[in-house]
């Protein structure tokens, strides 16, 4: 027995020497390789590490010899991982994994490891060789590539979502983009607020919520922005609001903090939404379940996503503006003629019958434009549009059809109902009066009752009826406006009223002295009344100025003959003296204004009124000068005969005054 025991002992010792020699050979072979190598005994006790392992883990062999590799494991479930590892390698199987390991200094890295069991001739494990490699940088690059691919996919999804955005699909497309952003960053709630009422109000207009997260959209409508001054100040400065912990917000943001608490928000990112340098609204990204710290890189990526949505919004707004410009009148905001005619054809179907059309035209608009200016005329157009619009249904189509002309398309409306609408509009216009400006509108209506009638002919019929009514209504309206202008001119300047009365009396007497016909005397009387009507367009301060007029003020004064001509031309009753009004400041030698007419180019009655006007001005007190005597006035007329005045008429006027005027 002793011989056998000795023999077994010698065999074991021999085997152990061979195993140690084999381990030493491995150690020598692996000493200088770039990968970290650990050799343990069969009980996982560290026996050897190479130079790369010392560098990787920061330990010398003496510091860790006899310890197990679990001292390197930094995983949260390290004990469980160690058990699984030992179970595999103890069976003689190779173990491979990527684990979070730690160094002597406590720093961590991702380690790619492979553990090979070493076995003898009998298949018995006598040691383990572990090879480790720091793949932190590799994993980082892989993660960056993965994130980049994820980012590109999300960006492509958003880009696709926002293609062909329009009024009908903008809600679903924006919400889809918000959903993609939410999934990418694991956000609980993503949304957009828009400002309105001059940034005094804001509403949550688009929202996406993760599963099990409550929507807050209905609770966030028509909020006063004045409540959130801190928030608004940040947004106005184009700042991103990044709050990782709502409980630690700035004291200045107490109002904002309160509403965030009400929604159980733990962290939030808010990004301004600018369109054409105007703060249009903002994006909000809520974290409700857990707090989230957003890095600068996260913010950068998030901004790329939101910029896509902003661009889509901007294009949509531009499209809406362009569409509105092509469909609407810029002055009134009503539909334009092109849209009306397109809509008329689309409504022209059997189920819309009867279809009525109203055509309306403002009376005296040209007189208003020529006398008060186009601003007053534009006001009249807009006010008329407002009155008509308030008397029709929302389903009716009202368009500005021309300068002062409107057209109304009335589906499901018979002739009687259309006439009732016209009467309502007329009643409203009669009640309107502002600064002596009244509204008078001529109307025409026509109705399509059967499918075989041509809708274009119905429009033409309504227009013809309007024109017929206008012929009878417009004349009296124009005359009324001009008479109102005369009254207005008299109110503006008492001197002008007195001057007109003296002019009328003197000119008619002089005309009678010249032997003019009754017709010419009537025209001369009318000219005396209307010759200065163009002054209605001149500022009252200039008309009543006591000091000498400036050059620019004289330019304004010199415009009144042309203005008076335009006013008179707009009325059939006063048109017969329009040319004389235009010419009453022309001079015989061609040095007058506004056209520089000379001698007999100047209308005869204008030459008469020029003499009478000059005489009255010289012999009456004016704001800027005192009157002179009759003798001096006649001497001045005689002196200016042949230059300012018709010499023949001047001589006759001097004789007339000396003989007839007391």
Alpha-carbon gap, residue 290 to 287, rounded angstroms: 6
- Reported as a single tens digit per residue, the pLDDT across 106-144 is 999 999 999 999 888 788 888 898 899 999 888 888 888
Residue 558, in any domain of the structure: yes
- Reported as a single tens digit per residue, the pLDDT across 420-470 is 999 999 888 887 765 556 788 889 999 999 989 999 999 999 988 888 787
Alpha-helical segments (H) within 493-603: 494-514, 518-530, 540-543, 551-557, 560-569, 578-583
Alpha-carbon gap, residue 284 to 216, rounded angstroms: 12
SS3 of residue 496 by DSSP: helix
Q: Give yes or no for a contact between 114 and 96, defined as CB atoms under 8 angstroms apart.
A: yes
Q: Are residues 441 and 313 in the same domain?
A: no
Q: Could you tell me the residue range of the domain that residue 528 belongs to?
A: 493-660
In whole numbers, what is the pLDDT of the chain averaged over residues? 85
Alpha-carbon gap, residue 183 to 25, rounded angstroms: 55
Residue ending a domain, among 290, 324, 358, is 324
Q: Are residues 129 and 151 in the same domain?
A: no
Q: Confidence class of residue 416 from pLDDT cuts 50, 70 and 90?
A: very high
Q: Are residues 307 and 353 in the same domain?
A: no
Q: What is the pLDDT of residue 246?
A: 92
Q: Tell me: pLDDT of 411 over 80.
A: yes
Alpha-carbon gap, residue 653 to 613, rounded angstroms: 12
In order, the DSSP letters of 576-611 are GGHHHHHHTT--TTS--SSS---GGGS-HHHHHHHH
Q: Confidence class of residue 1 from pLDDT cuts 50, 70 and 90?
A: very low
Q: Are residues 240 and 308 in the same domain?
A: yes
Alpha-carbon gap, residue 110 to 140, rounded angstroms: 10
**Tokens standing for residue 140:** 């980082």
Q: Give yes or no for a contact between 581 and 590, defined as CB atoms under 8 angstroms apart.
A: no
**Tokens standing for residue 320:** 């809406």
Residue 53, in any domain of the structure: yes
Q: What is the pLDDT of residue 69?
A: 87
7 - beta bridge partners? none
In order, the DSSP letters of 407-452 are EEEETT--HHHHHHHHHHHHHHHHH-EETTEE--EEEEEEEE-STT
Q: Are residues 219 and 262 in the same domain?
A: yes
Using the structure block, give the residue that is written with the tokens 């019958």: 353
- Reported as a single tens digit per residue, the pLDDT across 168-179 is 777 788 888 899
Q: Residue 293: which CATH number?
A: 3.30.450.40
Q: What is the DSSP letter of 622?
A: B
Q: What is the pLDDT of residue 492?
A: 56
- Reported as a single tens digit per residue, the pLDDT across 332-358 is 888 888 888 888 888 888 889 999 999
- Reported as a single tens digit per residue, the pLDDT across 529-566 is 888 888 877 877 777 777 788 888 888 888 889 888 88
Q: Are residues 440 and 316 in the same domain?
A: no
| Mean pLDDT, residues 646-658 | 91
Q: Give yes or no for a contact between 584 and 606, defined as CB atoms under 8 angstroms apart.
A: yes
Q: Are residues 511 and 408 in the same domain?
A: no
Q: Are residues 164 and 82 in the same domain?
A: no
Report CA torsion sign: 323, 329, 333, 335: negative
Residue 363, in any domain of the structure: yes
Alpha-carbon gap, residue 540 to 352, rounded angstroms: 55
Find which of 22-31, 147-156, 389-398 is predicted with most confidence, using mean pLDDT.
389-398
Find which of 14-23, 120-129, 385-394 is predicted with most confidence, using mean pLDDT.
385-394
Q: Are residues 528 and 426 in the same domain?
A: no
355 - beta bridge partners? 448
| Mean pLDDT, residues 238-253 | 91
Residue 633, in any domain of the structure: yes
- Reported as a single tens digit per residue, the pLDDT across 186-197 is 999 999 998 988
Q: What is the pLDDT of residue 14?
A: 61
- Reported as a single tens digit per residue, the pLDDT across 257-267 is 999 999 999 99
**Tokens standing for residue 491:** 């109110």
| 10 burial level (CB within 10 Å; 0-12, 13-18, 19+) | exposed
| Mean pLDDT, residues 619-648 | 85
Alpha-carbon gap, residue 256 to 246, rounded angstroms: 10
SS (H, E, C) 129-153: EEEEEECHHHHHHHHHHHHHHHHHH
Alpha-carbon gap, residue 68 to 76, rounded angstroms: 18
Report CA torsion sign: 553, 555, 561, 562: negative
What is the domain count for the chain?
4
Q: Are residues 173 and 307 in the same domain?
A: yes
Q: Tell me: pLDDT of 494 over 60.
A: no
Phi, psi of 128 (to 5 degrees): -135, 140
Alpha-carbon gap, residue 54 to 472, rounded angstroms: 111
Distance between start and end Cα atoms, the chain: 177
**Tokens standing for residue 200:** 């005094």
Q: Tell me: pLDDT of 504 over 70.
A: yes
Q: Residue 345: which CATH number?
A: 3.30.70.270
Q: What is the DSSP letter of 154?
A: H
**Tokens standing for residue 365:** 């608009």
| Mean pLDDT, residues 161-166 | 75
Residue ending a domain, among 439, 473, 507, is 473
Q: What is the pLDDT of residue 319?
A: 61
Q: Tell me: pLDDT of 242 over 90.
A: yes
Q: Tell me: pLDDT of 399 over 60.
A: yes
Alpha-carbon gap, residue 593 to 606, rounded angstroms: 13
Residue 5, in any domain of the structure: no
Burial of 230-249, coded b for 16+ CB within 10 Å and e otherwise, reads: bbbebbeeeebbbbeebeeb
| 570 burial level (CB within 10 Å; 0-12, 13-18, 19+) | buried
Find out whether the peptide bond into 97 is cis, omega within 30 degrees of 0.
no
| 567 burial level (CB within 10 Å; 0-12, 13-18, 19+) | buried
**Tokens standing for residue 262:** 């009400």
Tell me how crowded residue 262 is: count the other CB atoms within 10 A of its CB.
10
Q: Residue 646: which CATH number?
A: 1.10.3210.10
Q: Are residues 467 and 407 in the same domain?
A: yes
Q: Are residues 270 and 161 in the same domain?
A: yes
Residue 357, in any domain of the structure: yes
Tell me how crowded residue 226 is: count the other CB atoms within 10 A of its CB.
11
More confident residue, 367 or 503: 503
Q: What is the pLDDT of residue 523?
A: 86
Task: Using a pLDDT cut of 90, give the percent of the chain over it.
Answer: 34
Residue 253, in any domain of the structure: yes
SS3 of residue 457 by DSSP: helix
Alpha-carbon gap, residue 561 to 578, rounded angstroms: 9
Q: Give yes or no for a contact between 19 and 41, defined as CB atoms under 8 angstroms apart.
A: no
Q: Residue 129: which CATH number?
A: 3.30.450.20
Residue 150, in any domain of the structure: yes
Task: Using a pLDDT cut of 70, give the percent of the chain over it.
Answer: 87
Residue ending a domain, among 286, 302, 324, is 324
Q: Tell me: pLDDT of 406 over 70.
A: yes
**Tokens standing for residue 261:** 């608490």
Nearest to 42 by CA among 23, 61, 21, 56: 23
- Reported as a single tens digit per residue, the pLDDT across 34-85 is 889 898 888 889 988 988 899 999 999 899 999 988 899 888 888 888 888 8
Alpha-carbon gap, residue 23 to 27, rounded angstroms: 6
CA 554 to chain centroid, in Å, comes to 43
| Mean pLDDT, residues 584-590 | 92
């Amino acid at each position: 027995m002793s011989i056998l025991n000795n023999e077994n002992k010698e065999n074991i010792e021999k085997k152990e020497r061979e195993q140690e020699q084999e381990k030493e050979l491995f150690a020598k072979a692996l000493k200088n390789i770039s990968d970290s190598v650990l050799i343990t005994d069969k009980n996982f006790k560290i026996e050897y590490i190479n130079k790369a392992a010392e560098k990787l883990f920061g330990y010398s062999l003496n510091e860790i010899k006899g310890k197990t590799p679990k001292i390197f494991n930094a995983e949260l479930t390290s004990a469980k991982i160690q058990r699984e590892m030992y179970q595999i390698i103890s069976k003689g199987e190779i173990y491979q994994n990527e684990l979070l390991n730690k160094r002597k200094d406590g720093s961590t890295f991702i380690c790619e490891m492979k553990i090979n069991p070493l076995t003898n001739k009998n298949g018995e494990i006598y040691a383990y060789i572990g090879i480790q490699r720091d793949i932190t940088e590799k994993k980082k690059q892989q993660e960056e590539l993965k994130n980049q691919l994820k980012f590109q996919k999300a960006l492509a999804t958003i880009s696709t979502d926002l293609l062909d955005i329009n009024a009908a699909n903008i809600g679903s497309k924006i919400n889809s983009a918000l959903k993609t952003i939410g999934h990418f960053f694991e956000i609980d709630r993503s949304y957009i607020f828009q400002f309105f009422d001059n940034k005094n109000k804001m509403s949550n207009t688009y929202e996406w919520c993760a599963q099990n997260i409550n929507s807050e959209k209905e609770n966030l409508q028509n909020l006063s922005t004045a409540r959130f001054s801190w928030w608004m100040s940040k947004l106005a400065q184009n700042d991103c609001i990044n709050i990782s912990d709502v409980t630690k917000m700035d004291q200045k943001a107490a109002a904002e903090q309160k509403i965030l608490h009400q929604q159980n928000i733990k962290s939030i990112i808010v990004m301004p939404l600018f369109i054409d340098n105007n703060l249009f609204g903002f994006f909000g990204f809520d974290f409700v379940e857990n707090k989230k710290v957003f890095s600068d890189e996260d913010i950068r990526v998030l901004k790329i996503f939101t910029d896509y949505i902003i661009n889509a919004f901007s294009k949509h707004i531009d499209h809406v503006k362009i569409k509105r410009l092509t469909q609407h009148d810029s002055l009134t905001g009503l539909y334009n003629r092109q849209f009306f005619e397109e809509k008329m054809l689309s409504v022209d179907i059997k189920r819309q019958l009867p279809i009525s059309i109203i055509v309306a035209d403002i009376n005296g608009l040209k007189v208003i434009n020529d006398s008060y200016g186009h601003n007053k005329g534009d006001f009249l157009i807009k006010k008329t549009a407002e009155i008509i619009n308030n008397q029709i249904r929302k389903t009716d189509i009202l368009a500005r059809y021309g300068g002062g002309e409107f057209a109304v398309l009335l589906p499901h409306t018979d002739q009687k109902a259309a006439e009732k609408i016209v009467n309502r509009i007329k009643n409203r216009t009669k009640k309107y009066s502002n600064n002596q400006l009244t509204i008078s509108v001529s109307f025409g209506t026509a109705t399509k009752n059967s499918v075989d009638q041509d809708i274009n002919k119905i429009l033409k019929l309504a227009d013809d009826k309007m024109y017929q009514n206008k012929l009878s209504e417009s004349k009296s309206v124009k005359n009324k406006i001009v008479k109102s202008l005369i009254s207005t001119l008299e109110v503006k300047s008492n001197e002008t009223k007195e001057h007109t009365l003296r002019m009328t009396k003197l000119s008619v007497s002089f005309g009678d002295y010249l032997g003019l016909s009754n017709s010419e005397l009537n025209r001369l009387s009318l000219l005396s009344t209307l010759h200065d009507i163009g002054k209605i367009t001149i500022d009252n301060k200039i008309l009543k100025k006591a000091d000498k007029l400036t050059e620019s003020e004289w330019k304004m004064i010199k415009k009144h003959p042309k203005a008076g001509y335009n006013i008179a031309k707009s009325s059939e009753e006063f048109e017969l003296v329009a040319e004389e009004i235009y010419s009453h400041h022309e001079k015989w030698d061609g040095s007058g204004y506004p056209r520089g007419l000379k001698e007999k180019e100047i209308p005869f009655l204008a030459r008469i009124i020029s003499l009478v006007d000059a005489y009255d001005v010289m012999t009456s007190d004016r704001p800027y000068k005192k009157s002179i005597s009759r003798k001096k006035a006649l001497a001045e007329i005689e002196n200016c005969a042949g230059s300012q005045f018709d010499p023949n008429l001047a001589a006759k006027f001097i004789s007339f005054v000396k003989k007839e005027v007391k």
